[in-house]
Structure 1
Amino acid sequence: MTLLGVRPARIRLLGVATAALVLAGCGGGEPALEYKGPDEGALLNGQDLAEAAWEVHGEEGVPETVRLALDGQDVDADRGDTTLRWAPQDLDDGEYTLAALRQAPDADEPEVLHEWAFAVDATPPEIELTSPDSAVVAGEPVSVAGTTEPGATVSVAGQETTAGDDGGFAVELPEAPEGDLEIVAVDAAGNASDDQFTLVTVPSRVEVDHVRSVHVTPHAWATDSFRERILQMADDGIINSVALTLKDEGGRIGWNSEVELAIASGANEGVYDLEATIAALHERGIHVAGRIVAFRDPMLGPYARDNGDLDWLVQTTDGEPYTGRYECCFTNFSHPEVIEYNLAIAEEAARAGVDDILWDYIRKPDGPRENLVLEGIPNDEPLEPAIIEFTRLADERLSRYGVGHGASLYGIAADRPTQIAQDVPGMSEYLDYVAPMIYPSHWGPGEYGVADPNRQPYDIIDATLEVWKEQVEGTDTRIVPWLEDTTYRAWDRPHQVREQIRAARDHDIQEFLMWDPSVRYTLEAYDTIPRGREE
């Protein structure tokens, strides 16, 4: 906050008053005295106070019996040949009375010769911006609101308003300004604050009440026939969103990221232009959930290993990279470099305009905890807190962009969190939604009392959602389930898809993320929803 030397004429209250008086009761030729200082009842701001002075002046001098007192306490005034002068330079905000007093030798109380009443307000008004609290869309109108000192004159990007009795102010700008947003507040005393606020802008945004999305790989999106099929699903009202993979299970990034580690590790695949892709989808009113496979990373893993950074990796008790069933390695989700790499990719995508960041593989690798060594986490401590901390850091990093924040979680995490290091209630504190992967084909016989989950798609989705709803009860976190439309163990694919969606709707969940690794969705399986209507 910067104090400005701004004193508009309409609030310029400081003047100099001069009064000529003869000392009362002083016969014998006592000199006449003049009293100079700010106007009666003056309100002094910081600059006024720095320039202000109070004087008692006599052509033949000021008697030694005359002194100055502020609210009854003598002040250290400068005494010259003809003038008694006090220039305080610094006073706390408040109301004051300065008195010129004469103490007669035979009097118990001093005689008040003259008084000046004044007030000091030298504190610049504070400015707090309350809106927008996240990203705004470039080129669109933006409401700017905040609080400051009641009654202050506020200028926002050149538009002037007056703060209300509660200090609130608001202006509507025709579009978000480029660069910093300047807000100037000037209070009744003339103190001014000049603050710079940086507004985060995104190229475009699509918001939907209920996400109905399908998984799309980078290569599928880059292929005309697959892309047109997805777009047709949106045009037909089947979906209103795509879950576009930003970084996949192979650690490959779909566009040419500018993140240094993405370049250094060779992760950039450059299959699509991210900004152009988002713009094309948004132009058709299609929401974009950006899927990022975080800690299963066969690009960053070998890069770290080859550079001797084994602490970036989950290791075995022998100090070797833990492979398990993974191509090379599984990255250490507690390591600052690994965390920063994934957050930087997410932030780059948020700046480009994705509507959601949807994490995948934010978990431990398969295998017993005792076989896993992660630098930064003692071997006898659980791993769930580190995953919760990642969601907290991600939420903190992404909040300024106004994106939705979700995570794809294993179906078993609801009641078996330690098997996968996913504590659903703990993570829900930092997520807008959880996306449990509850594919019927992946459950074994008897799970949740369902004899054959793959042959009973409605029953298994119904049973698992009941457990998941208990995990997020009392929070604002939504459940957006991953369902499946795959060839794996499929016996009547349209029926299986319909039954999963029906089970979710019977739990009043109108949302889904549909999974098919080959991106060949069964169009006849979906109920169409007329364009422009949300359930």
Structure 2
Amino acid sequence: MENKKQMINVETGKQKKKTVSIVVLTVLVLLSLSLLALYIRHSSSDSRDGNGADRSGALNTITPTVTPEPTGAPYPTEIPAEEPSVTPEPSPTATPAPKPEFQPVRALYLKPESFQNPTTLDHYIDLANRTEINAYVIDIKSDWGTITYRSEIEDVRAAKACRDDIDIREIIKKFHDNNIRVIGRVVTFKDSVITKYKPELAIHHDGKLFDQSGNGSGVYWLDATRKESWDYILAIVREAIDFGFDEIQFDYVRFPETSLYKYELANLEEGKERHEYIEEFLAYIRKNVPEGTILSADIFGMPLISSKDYGEIGQTLESIGWNLDYISPMIYPSHFANSAPRGSMANGVGQVINGIKFTHPDLYPYEVVYNTLMVGKRRIESVDGYNVKCRPYIQGFTADYLPEGYWKKYGVEEYRAQIQAVYDAGYEEWIFWNARNNYVEEAFLPEGQ
């Protein structure tokens, strides 16, 4: 009996093990078939060839359903859903980003090395971010006539008149990213590069290029009576506008002083004054640049206090601004006549400004700037419909080349005195000039003050 029971139990155990084995085998088969089906679907949806080229566009997204194991058993690794590739949409037409809204200009002039060098560029951007400075004047065309960045103008490239290693767009973008206005200075008719490549555009004397240096250094000028000279400048201006400059500022927009030099002009008409050529040039530029382009011009300080065009340079206060948004008179106290018997700017008498005689003008920065602006302001306002604004250049350097006793060191006090003179004269914009960019940076107020 005992043996029979043992035989039955053994048989029953064998049957149970067989049943369990069949169940396990069935589950494994079903899981294998499920995984195989998923693999086939996955493989058939991949349309990339052996070189990785996509031939059909977007792929189907596969999210496999996984039946969870009983509680307590580990989950199998899921087959990850393949990331869909997206057929690229057509690129939209680029819309130019709107330019920042700029405050009244409080600017410094930067020489080419100061904005072409990344380290010094970062310094001046930081200065603007920390202080009241919110704009910089940078050279488009330098005093020598060189374009300070890579240009695509045919004549510029043929004359080797530009730098090929500077992308001005990147520099302008960096300024704009910091809400800094970029004013492009164009040394207009003074040009020692294109005049050698195209001498027919230059001022001549005795059948040769007129050399202002007088010592053979080759300081040449474009002839402002020639329309071909205007067209060369216009091409540079148009390209600069396309590159993103916020304003075009003309410097040396004049003739060389006839009181100092002798030369001949190609198209000087009898009875026509030189300032008319300069004004016609500015009207020509205005007509041929996009509407809304801001144009300005640097002029000497003397035209503000004298109605006579001394030296016949072609700058007359009451008429030069008809096609300009701004004039920037260079009101440097050191540049007015002093009473020294000899030396730089000496005439033995001094300078009368607004009825006040200044024998040592460089020692009185506030008084010289204020009174010069007041005289010019009255004259500008006396012309009906004359809406040109005034944004003066003021002195950011020490004129230690003047006769002894006729100059002083320009520091914080002298900087602030000139700025206050601008404000007291009823103006709110100014630019400091220092050719070497050795500015007294402590003079500029913290941002927001």
Q: Normalized against structure 1, the TM-score is what? A: 0.58
Relative to its length, the structure with more strand (as a share) is 1
Q: Indicate yes or no: 2:398 matched with 1:478.
A: no
Q: Indicate yes or no: 2:143 matched with 1:249.
A: yes
Name stretches of at least 5 consecutive residues in structure 1 with no aligned partner. 1-176, 180-200
Q: Which residue of structure 2 aligns with residue 347 of structure 1? A: 238
Match of 2:202 among 305, 310, 313: 313
- Structure 2 CA distance for partners of 1:506 and 1:274, relative to 1, 3 Å: same
Amino acid corresponding to residue 233 of structure 1 in structure 2: L
Amino acid corresponding to residue 141 of structure 2 in structure 1: K
- Structure 2 CA distance for partners of 1:264 and 1:464, relative to 1, 3 Å: same
Q: Indicate yes or no: 2:412 matched with 1:501.
A: no
SS in 2 for 1:275: helix
Distance 2:109 2:146 in 1: 16
Q: Which residue of structure 2 aligns with residue 141 of structure 1? A: none
Amino acid corresponding to residue 390 of structure 2 in structure 1: I
Q: Which residue of structure 1 aligns with residue 25 of structure 2? A: none
Q: Which residue of structure 1 aligns with residue 247 of structure 2? A: 356
- Structure 2 CA distance for partners of 1:295 and 1:413, relative to 1, 3 Å: same
Distance 1:244 1:479 in 2: 19
| CA-CA distance at 1:427 after TM superposition | 1.7
Q: Which residue of structure 1 aligns with residue 169 of structure 2? A: 275
Q: Which residue of structure 2 aligns with residue 83 of structure 1? A: none
Match of 1:220 among 114, 139, 143: 114
Distance 1:389 1:457 in 2: 35
Q: Which moved more, 1:270-279 or 1:344-353?
A: 270-279
Q: Normalized against structure 2, the TM-score is what? A: 0.69
Distance 1:417 1:226 in 2: 39
Rg bigger for which structure?
A: 2
Distance 1:343 1:374 in 2: 20
Distance 1:380 1:202 in 2: 47
Q: Indicate yes or no: 2:331 matched with 1:435.
A: no
Q: Which residue of structure 1 aligns with residue 51 of structure 2? A: none
| CA-CA distance at 1:519 after TM superposition | 1.4
- Structure 2 CA distance for partners of 1:322 and 1:471, relative to 1, 3 Å: farther
The superposition leaves residues 183-204 of structure 1 with CA deviations (integer Å, 9 ceiling, x where unpaired) of xxxxxxxxxxxxxxxxxx7555
Relative to its length, the structure with more helix (as a share) is 2
| CA-CA distance at 1:178 after TM superposition | 4.8
- Structure 2 CA distance for partners of 1:370 and 1:244, relative to 1, 3 Å: closer
Amino acid corresponding to residue 389 of structure 2 in structure 1: R
Distance 2:165 2:380 in 1: 37
- Structure 2 CA distance for partners of 1:464 and 1:355, relative to 1, 3 Å: same
| CA-CA distance at 1:222 after TM superposition | 1.6
Asked if 1 retains the 8 angstrom alpha-carbon contact of 2:106 and 2:429, the reply is yes
The superposition leaves residues 94-118 of structure 1 with CA deviations (integer Å, 9 ceiling, x where unpaired) of xxxxxxxxxxxxxxxxxxxxxxxxx
Name stretches of at least 5 consecutive residues in structure 2 with no aligned partner. 1-91, 339-349, 401-407
Distance 1:271 1:465 in 2: 41
Superposition pairs of residues 411-490 of structure 1, within 5 angstroms:
411-414=301-304, 415=306, 416-419=308-311, 420-445=313-338, 446-447=350-351, 448=353, 449-473=357-381, 474=384, 475-489=386-400, 490=408
The superposition leaves residues 69-125 of structure 1 with CA deviations (integer Å, 9 ceiling, x where unpaired) of xxxxxxxxxxxxxxxxxxxxxxxxxxxxxxxxxxxxxxxxxxxxxxxxxxxxxxxxx
Match of 1:231 among 120, 125, 133: 125
Distance 1:203 1:274 in 2: 17
Distance 1:507 1:275 in 2: 37
Equivalent pairs, count: 327
Q: Which residue of structure 2 aligns with residue 71 of structure 1? A: none
Q: Indicate yes or no: 2:430 matched with 1:518.
A: no
- Structure 2 CA distance for partners of 1:203 and 1:368, relative to 1, 3 Å: farther
SS in 1 for 2:361: coil
Q: Which residue of structure 1 aligns with residue 78 of structure 2? A: none
SS in 1 for 2:124: helix
Asked if 1 retains the 8 angstrom alpha-carbon contact of 2:131 and 2:444, the reply is no
Distance 1:202 1:274 in 2: 17
Amino acid corresponding to residue 463 of structure 1 in structure 2: N
SS in 1 for 2:373: helix
Percent identical pairs in the alignment equals 26
- Structure 2 CA distance for partners of 1:271 and 1:456, relative to 1, 3 Å: farther
Q: Which residue of structure 2 aligns with residue 323 of structure 1? A: 211
Distance 2:418 2:117 in 1: 28
Q: Indicate yes or no: 2:273 matched with 1:385.
A: no
